[in-house]
Amino acid sequence: MPRFFCFLLPRVHAADVAAAQTPPSSSSSTSPPELPDTGWERIRDLFDRDETMQYPEELTNIMKNCFVGAVAGFLYGGLPAARFARQRYIQVSQAEVYRGRVDAVRSSHHAAIRGFLRYGWRWSWRVSLIVTLFSSVSTGLSVYRDKDVLSNYVAAGVVTVGLYRLNLGLRGLVAGSVIGAVLGVPTGALILGLQRLMGETFRERRRRERRELYELLILDVGSQLEETSKDMQRIQELLGSNNSEESNN
């Protein structure tokens, strides 16, 4: 091609091509992800799974408390009911005729099992509901306020027993709230005391873990920025060498 036509064509430098091919760097890709800082962000974070597809420890503790409450209520209501049903059956069926001692013992055991299942279930779902509601409210307040204090458990007791006695009307709501507040004080003191014996409360441990995670994220982002700066220096050196060769030619 004649050199005259070269002046008519647009000139493209290697630096312009490299700049066009280089993807724009966004601040979101180089800045560390923000950890939940407000109360509602921490509440929403409870329902997010981690890298191993597991829910946070607060939510799993609520599920464990629900299961433990159901088992405890089943045993608390079922064992006395089974013993009473067996004694009651023996008293009522004294005039009945059985084919043998084994038949009589089997019948009394069946009566005990029926009483165990019937009253065990009645106590099981009630205790499980109370424990789950109390644990959910106290955990929600602790996460929202980001601190473990006695007032969280007092408020949880007020809400739990107040709602449980709501079917009795306004008087039941007020009486249940007062009873829940009274019961929430020793319960919260016991839980906080056990946590203090372990060295730190649950929220203090969570804050420490979040702080350590944030420091690791900052180190990771810093290493990525360092690698990016090294790559940019290599690209600039290559572009500088290409420009020098073109100027020499």
Amino acid making up residue 150: L
Looking at residue 201, what is its pLDDT?
77
Q: How far apart are CA 101 and CA 95, in angstroms?
A: 14
**What's the DSSP call for residue 33?**
P
Angle at 246 between CA 241 and CA 249, to 5 degrees: 125
Per-residue pLDDT tens over the stretch 31-76: 555 555 677 877 887 777 766 777 888 888 899 999 999 999 999 9
* Whole-number pLDDT of residue 100: 60
Distance CA 171, CA 182 (A): 17
Task: Tokens 């946590």: give the residue.
Answer: 195
The residues, any chain, with a CB within 8 Å of residue 108's CB and separated by 6 or more, are: 86, 89, 90
Which of 99-103, 120-124, 214-218, 223-227 shows the lowest per-residue confidence on average (mean pLDDT)? 99-103
Q: Is residue 231 classed as helix, strand or coil in its secondary structure?
A: helix
Would you say residue 105 has pLDDT above 90?
no
Name, of 16-20, 95-99, 144-148, 153-157, the range with top average pLDDT.
Answer: 153-157
Write down the pTM of the prediction: 0.67
pLDDT of amino acid 249 = 59
Check residue 75 and give its pLDDT: 93
Distance, CA of 221 to CA of 32 (rounded, Å): 6
How would you class 58 by CB atoms within 10 Å of its CB: exposed for 0-12, middle for 13-18, buried for 19 or more? buried
Instruction: Answer whether residue 2 shows pLDDT above 70.
Output: no
Residues 90-105 have a mean pLDDT of: 65
Retrieve residue 61's tokens. 């503790």
Given this model, what pLDDT does residue 133 score? 93
**Percent residues over pLDDT 70 in the chain:** 76
For residue 49, the SS3 value is coil
Which one is predicted more confidently, 90 or 34? 90
**Does residue 147 surpass a pLDDT of 80?**
yes
Handedness of CA 35, 39, 40, 45 (dihedral sign): positive
Contact between 88 and 119 under an 8 Å Cβ cutoff? The reply is no
- Read off the pLDDT band of 181 (50, 70, 90): very high
Across the range 161-177, mean pLDDT stands at 88
Whole-angstrom Cα Rg for the chain:
35
Question: Where along the chain do its domains lie?
Answer: 53-133
18 contact partners, CB below 8 Å, separation of at least 6? 235, 239
**Residues 61 and 111 sit within 8 Å (Cβ to Cβ):** no
pLDDT value of position 42: 77
For 119-145, write each residue's pLDDT tens digit. Answer: 999 999 999 999 999 999 999 898 888
Nearest-angstrom CA–CA distance, 17 and 24: 14
Give 157's contacts (C-beta < 8 A, 6+ positions apart).
134, 179, 180, 181, 182, 183, 184, 185, 187, 188
